[in-house]
Structure 1
Amino acid sequence: MTSLTQLSQAIHDAPRWHQENLFQNPDDIVITPLAGEALGAVVTGLDARKAQSGETIFRLKQALAEHLILIFKHQRLDDLQYLAFASYFGAIFRPSADNPVLATQADTGTPPDVIPVSNAVGQGDYTGHGELSPHADHQWTPTPSFGSLLYAIELPQDGGQTTWYNTIKAYEALDDQTKQHIDQLQLITYNPFVRAKSNKGSQGYGNSPLYRFKDQEILGHAYPHPLVRTHPETGRKALWLNTRTEVELVNYDDQAGSKLIAELREHILKPEFRYEHQWQEGDIVFWDNQVTLHSRRPFPAEQRRLLKRISLAGGRPF
């Protein structure tokens, strides 16, 4: 795991205000919404290696709250520079050892701060090359991450695109009767990595039951969160539901709950709520994990793909 001292080193090594050539000019930054897409904006003119002003970070945080994903183009960072840039937006997500997540280390019980998301031998091997279904990161923890940054270093020639889903728009498109019915429901999302361990090595996503019925065993911890989540900055409501991991509605008939969840999952997948990103080397995509889902297209096993992810700490959903 990247230690706290290494994170401190990243901040220590970051550019200083008095080094004028290493200070980002806020006037150089352009934020362009993606035309005709359900979410997203492209950020150009920003060099993430440079010191950033309060004006710039405030502007980027506002843009993230509005557009839900920001795409920073043409970046060239080492891990410490990447950590220093990410830390402008929040603390690093550090789950407890009893809540395993992607890349949890056997010796520490926690993941690295910078996670290689890769199929390349020796570079992580955490997600393989197959399809990943739409999900929010760390949804099964008591305080899921607020957001993540994903940095493209090496890309396959075919496939591997990432799609983001706007779950605010998905909620807003529901009819009023459905909204009224689901607004106060609580949902438990069960940990797919606990399920994978019980299945002796299967991948976390994609091999879980879709719903936990009352006669089925509970695996791992159960943290109820709102099915309809409120964004802490904008106050907008969103469906806080992935499309594949095992879930359960609290104090709700399991047969009816399974049917309702299946209907909502089908609704989230409608084309008008999503944006598919065609990666280029040097892209950093920063997304709001509270009101989006993301998925990945498969790519050939023999083609290398290496991205690095940093996740930022969040609060309890409400």
Structure 2
Amino acid sequence: MAIKIDHLTPYIGSEIKCDVDSLLSGSEAEAIRAVLEERGVVFFRGLEINDEQQVAIARTLGNIVESEGKDGIYKISLDKGVNQRAEYLKGSLFWHFDGSLQPRPNYAAMLRAIKLSAVGGQTEFCNTYAAFDDLPEAEKREISTLRAIHSAERSQYYVTPEMSYEEVKFWQQSPSKSCPLVWTHQSGRKSLLVGATADYVEGLSVEASRALLARLRDWATQPKYVYRHEWQVGDLLIWNNTGTMHRALPYPEDGGRLMHRTILAGEEELH
């Protein structure tokens, strides 16, 4: 079965129709990766697959992160009975990309809807390639050599604005990292690197740094660059983590929302 692709917005988000056997065989993997590169987010509806099949499909697209969860499946839930790191996952409610502190940020991630909350819980994605491409040329030059310090500590202030001393010390155990504001990829394309882990811009005053990071985040998350996914149980969604940011919309901790995630390992250095 040849895949069918339906682009859902001008810049980001595509639905792909394909049968399970073709996905498992990897016969469409190259085409899917090409759509991911261009569109940032793809999803499949009504596949009716299990965890083993999810991981098998992921393996056709790249190398999975073996340490992610159990047998390649990590359970995303704000219920501490399901996920002991539920407090940390609250940071996913704010714009971010995964792996900003790693030498090679995750290439992509695959999410499958197991159970949904009655309210909230949609996921939004923005295309950071398109956002950079559309910046005025003068602004591209202005930020082309700037670098920002990213830290786990910074992202937690979104969740707990008045962290205790012990909480601050805990999050400061994770080393910070200097990243370019503009990521020049192996392909030659460029994307913006901002989001919740971006703490400050090197060489700028505190005020100028905060203003610039907020301005670039607001630019990248304009409605025209954003795709909001309205989940249905069984949806399988994949996003290109190196060219997007994402966030979940708020939902009740006891709402039952459960996602199964598989991560595809990073393929290019961020330095």
TM-score w.r.t. the length of structure 1 is 0.73
Change in Cα spacing, 1:125 to 1:275, as seen in structure 2 (3 Å) is farther
Q: 1:154–1:305: 8 Å Cα contact kept in structure 2?
A: yes
Determine the structure 2 residue equivalent to 1:168.
Answer: 129
* Aligned equivalent of 1:124, options 83, 93, 106: 83
Q: What value does the CA root-mean-square deviation take over the aligned residues?
A: 2.7
Deviation of 1:161 after TM superposition, in Å, equals: 0.5
Matched position secondary structure for 1:262? helix
Deviation of 1:72 after TM superposition, in Å, equals: 1.2
Determine the structure 2 residue equivalent to 1:247.
Answer: 199
Q: 2:198–2:213: 8 Å Cα contact kept in structure 1?
A: no
Determine the structure 2 residue equivalent to 1:30.
Answer: 4
Output the amino acid matched with 1:239. L
Determine the structure 1 residue equivalent to 2:251.
Answer: 299
Q: CA separation in 2, counterparts of 1:225 and 1:255?
A: 19
* Aligned equivalent of 1:66, options 19, 34, 38: 38
Deviation of 1:142 after TM superposition, in Å, equals: 1.9
Q: CA separation in 2, counterparts of 1:111 and 1:311?
A: 7
Q: 1:151–1:284: 8 Å Cα contact kept in structure 2?
A: yes
Output the amino acid matched with 1:289. N
* Aligned equivalent of 1:42, options 5, 15, 30: 15
* Aligned equivalent of 2:150, options 184, 189, 194: 189
Change in Cα spacing, 1:258 to 1:53, as seen in structure 2 (3 Å) is closer
- Following superposition of structure 1 onto structure 2, how do residues 1-318 of structure 1 map, counting pairs within 5 Å? 25=1, 27=2, 29-34=3-8, 36-47=9-20, 51-54=24-27, 56-93=28-65, 111-112=68-69, 113-120=72-79, 122-124=81-83, 126-127=85-86, 132-192=93-153, 206-207=159-160, 220-233=174-187, 235-242=188-195, 244-314=196-266, 315-317=268-270
State the structure with more CA Rg: 1
Q: 1:37–1:275: 8 Å Cα contact kept in structure 2?
A: no
Determine the structure 1 residue equivalent to 2:168.
Answer: none
Change in Cα spacing, 1:246 to 1:169, as seen in structure 2 (3 Å) is closer
Output the amino acid matched with 2:14. A
Change in Cα spacing, 1:207 to 1:183, as seen in structure 2 (3 Å) is farther
Q: In proportion to residue count, which structure has more helix?
A: 2
Q: Unaligned regions of 5+ residues in structure 1, if any?
A: 1-24, 95-109, 197-202, 210-216
Q: CA separation in 1, counterparts of 2:46 and 2:158?
A: 31
Output the amino acid matched with 2:182. V
Matched position secondary structure for 1:164? strand
Residues 89-115 of structure 1: per-residue CA shift (max 9 Å, x gap): 111236xxxxxxxxxxxxxxx642311
Q: Tell me the percent identity.
A: 28
Deviation of 1:272 after TM superposition, in Å, equals: 1.4
Aligned length: 258
Q: 1:189–1:248: 8 Å Cα contact kept in structure 2?
A: yes
Q: 1:231–1:291: 8 Å Cα contact kept in structure 2?
A: no
Residues 144-199 of structure 1: per-residue CA shift (max 9 Å, x gap): 1111001101111211100001112221222111110111222221124xx78xxx
Q: CA separation in 2, counterparts of 1:144 and 1:44?
A: 28
Deviation of 1:225 after TM superposition, in Å, equals: 2.0
Q: CA separation in 2, counterparts of 1:152 and 1:264?
A: 31
Change in Cα spacing, 1:121 to 1:181, as seen in structure 2 (3 Å) is closer
Q: Unaligned regions of 5+ residues in structure 2, if any?
A: 163-170
Deviation of 1:218 after TM superposition, in Å, equals: 6.2
Determine the structure 1 residue equivalent to 2:165.
Answer: none
